[in-house]
Structure 1
Amino acid sequence: MDQDTKQLRDHLKNKRRRERYLAEKSELLSQLAHARKAIDTFSRRRNVRPVALPWKDVAGSLAKACVESRLSLELLRQKYEQVYHISQCMSAWVGSMSRSQNVPVSNDMFKATVLMGDPIARRLGLDWFTQHMYHNTNRMEALSNFPSEGVVQDTTVISHENGMWEIHGRIQVECNYSLEATYAYLHDKIWEELRGETHISMSEILDEDTVKTIDAKMIYRRTAVSADESNYYVGREFVTKNRVVFLFGNFSQDALHPENIQWRPRMFWYIMDRLAPERTRIRLVLYNGPKVIEGKILTWKDDLKYTGEDISTIPEEEQFQKYQQLIVKEWQPMLDSDFELLNLRFLNE
């Protein structure tokens, strides 16, 4: 190492040492000034004599704090009463869905669901019912045993133990349209169904303000079928990227409206699935549970008696087959109408 290089290195080393020393000195002087300031402040505080607050000021502050605590207590009590009331309503609601007449059934859709009268319980009930149906869409498709492709239009009557029964209707079609185009074409037509505008009986829209707070694409209505029976239908639309579901189903009773002497569970799902950019599958699932009259679930044989059908001459093993034929015949016009609504293949021509 030559002499010039050594001198330059020593110079730079000394410069760095000097800069570090000056920085540390500046930091220590700053800390010293801060400490002196703190000592001066503390000394002045020690020389100040404490002054006792007048009793009037103390009493006023305590009174104010007492009022605030009482207000807080009252708000907490009101909140408690509200939550307790809701829990009682929901407990009663859950209890109302217990087995009717203690008849053992294998399908939970037979259970009666009552819409309670309390405003908060009504809102929770309407939201829960439609969410429950929506999250059971795949289950209903599986129960309907749809094929993966092709056209389907049929009705099946399913017999359970103890004479219990239910009806499943199903429709499946496909069209060469995007999901968005299919939705745009069918939206208003399906909503006519949800609003009850295509039914023979008139519908009365209920709880509009409450329903709007849940979902803009939702409706609750009463359709009076007879003096003894009303369908309290709640409908809703659910849209995701690759699927659209329109659905509606009925409560057994509404605590604020005429009591149903007879009723039956009715549920419907309109399902659109994107198969490809320009290919959409449309499905309709229709479900009817057994009729319930004055709290008693009718077996299929009971239902036959109400229709006036004479099966006395029909062998026991053939009676259910006869009942199936009657149901299929009764449902066929409805399925034909829905098939015509949903079958968009003619638009491709």
Structure 2
Amino acid sequence: MNHAIDAEELKKEDEKLKKREYIRNMMRIYRKQDKDGLLYLRNRVKELERQLEQLTVKSKPRDESALPWKDVAHALNDERIQSECQRERLLKEVAKANTLLYDMKRWVAATLTIQRSPDPRGHTWRNSSLFIQPKSRLLGKKWITEQMYHNADRAFFAYDFPPLDVPLNSYEIQFQNGAYDIIMRQQCILDLPPKLVLALFRDYYCDITTVNWFDPVQSNTKAEVTDQTTLHQLEVAHKNHEYVNILVGEFQDQNLIVAQQIIDDEAVSMNVPQRNRKFWMQLVPLPSGQIVQRMLYVKSQLFTRSGGYVPLEDEARLWSIDLSHCKTDTEMEREFRHQGLQVIHLGLKIQAENRFRYHVQQALSKQFADPHSADSTGTTDQTLLS
């Protein structure tokens, strides 16, 4: 019986040993699996690190000088903004060009036929009109002044100027079709530097030519100034609100000043009384070294664009001339001519000479006070007096 117990115990002990051996084997397998898994993970980490390094290398720009994408985006955005600004500027230039073309078409269409050589005695829409658009306006000023410049000799010839060595001092009031023109012609020796005389007529035209009648022009009348032109504007308030809108051109190559009343100015909307004015003043050197000043000034009767010329009776009152005793148009014209010439010779002519003399003295005084001073136009007095 003891043997049976021993056999059973041996059997149980053997089973325990087998179980332990199984467990040890399984643990060995688990440990190997853990070791293999750890090795795999380590190798996997190394593999992933190699792949990451390769991807990082591939993502780097080949050219180290290339800009980052953000900088490129900013640059492209700046280019876009610049292109849009340029497009807007070009559209504005196209619009201005179309306006200029339209203005030029109007200019040409205003006259059915263009004279081959404009008559200096005549008056056309083209040489007394300015548009409001800047480029058209600049071209208009250039056309008006250069047309007068190129026709200066014809103007002096048409108004019967004598040879340069013959003095001339003539004032006329000529009636035609019920309206008059005052024609002033002068030719004399002038003992002044040409540049000074040109500058005075350019800057003080309204005062020197007595557009304000017997009152000096105290204000600055220069409204628009370019290299070659000066637009003078003045309202003669005490004379029926007459509006002066004179374009003056200066041509130093010929020592020439030209001037024209701008009758139709888009920048001046009011229908104001005005006079047509045409003016040429040239300084011509003689072989003796002397300077001859020849001057032609044509001024019309007062008119408005909508109503035409004012009645001669109203015009006469501006001159302080009484025509109430005249019974016919012929008598009124004769009386106006007679008394008008007296007003000119005994008043306006003397006033013009005094105003010119005043501005000459002012320029000379400024020169002697400060030889290096500059006038309002930026031209030194030393230059003017040279």
Q: TM-score, normalised by structure 1?
A: 0.60
How far did residue 314 of structure 1 move? 5.0
- In terms of fraction of residues, the more strand-rich structure is 1
How far did residue 188 of structure 1 move? 4.3
CA contact (8 A) 2:236 2:242 kept: yes
Separation of aligned partners in 2, 1:196 and 1:317: 33
List aligned pairs for 1:119-134, cutoff 5 A: 119-134=134-149
Question: Match of 2:233, SS?
Answer: strand
List aligned pairs for 1:62-73, cutoff 5 A: none
Separation of aligned partners in 1, 2:306 and 2:343: 25
Matched with 1:157 is 173
Question: Match of 1:223, SS?
Answer: strand
When residues 331 and 258 of structure 1 are mapped into structure 2, their CA distance, relative to the original with a 3 A threshold, is farther
Separation of aligned partners in 2, 1:186 and 1:163: 36
Query: Does structure 1 residue 206 correspond to structure 2 residue 223?
Result: yes
CA contact (8 A) 1:205 1:220 kept: yes
Separation of aligned partners in 1, 2:250 and 2:305: 33
What one-letter code is carried by the residue in structure 1 that aligns with 2:267? L
When residues 119 and 191 of structure 1 are mapped into structure 2, their CA distance, relative to the original with a 3 A threshold, is closer
Separation of aligned partners in 1, 2:220 and 2:342: 26
Cα root mean square deviation, aligned: 3.7
Percentage of matched positions with identical amino acids: 16
Question: Match of 2:267, SS?
Answer: coil
The structure with the larger Rg is 2
When residues 279 and 170 of structure 1 are mapped into structure 2, their CA distance, relative to the original with a 3 A threshold, is same
When residues 253 and 117 of structure 1 are mapped into structure 2, their CA distance, relative to the original with a 3 A threshold, is same
In structure 1, runs of 5+ residues without a counterpart are 1-66, 99-105, 343-349
**Per-residue CA shift, 1:311-340, capped at 9, x if unaligned?**
544565443221212332233333334456
How far did residue 192 of structure 1 move? 4.2
CA contact (8 A) 2:232 2:247 kept: yes
Q: 1:280 aligns with which of 291, 306, 324?
A: 291
How far did residue 173 of structure 1 move? 0.5
Question: Match of 2:323, SS?
Answer: coil
Matched residue count: 253
Query: Does structure 1 residue 335 correspond to structure 2 residue 341?
Result: no
**Per-residue CA shift, 1:42-99, capped at 9, x if unaligned?**
xxxxxxxxxxxxxxxxxxxxxxxxx9xxx9999987665443311212334556789x
How far did residue 251 of structure 1 move? 0.7
Question: Match of 1:273, SS?
Answer: strand
What one-letter code is carried by the residue in structure 1 that aligns with 2:291? T
Question: Match of 2:123, SS?
Answer: helix
Q: 1:167 aligns with which of 148, 166, 182?
A: 182
How far did residue 156 of structure 1 move? 1.0
Separation of aligned partners in 1, 2:313 and 2:152: 30
Q: With a CA cutoff of 8 Å and minimum separation of 6, indicate the structure with the bigger relative contact order.
A: 1
Question: Match of 1:322, SS?
Answer: helix
Q: Which moved more, 1:225-234 or 1:263-272?
A: 225-234
CA contact (8 A) 1:115 1:122 kept: yes
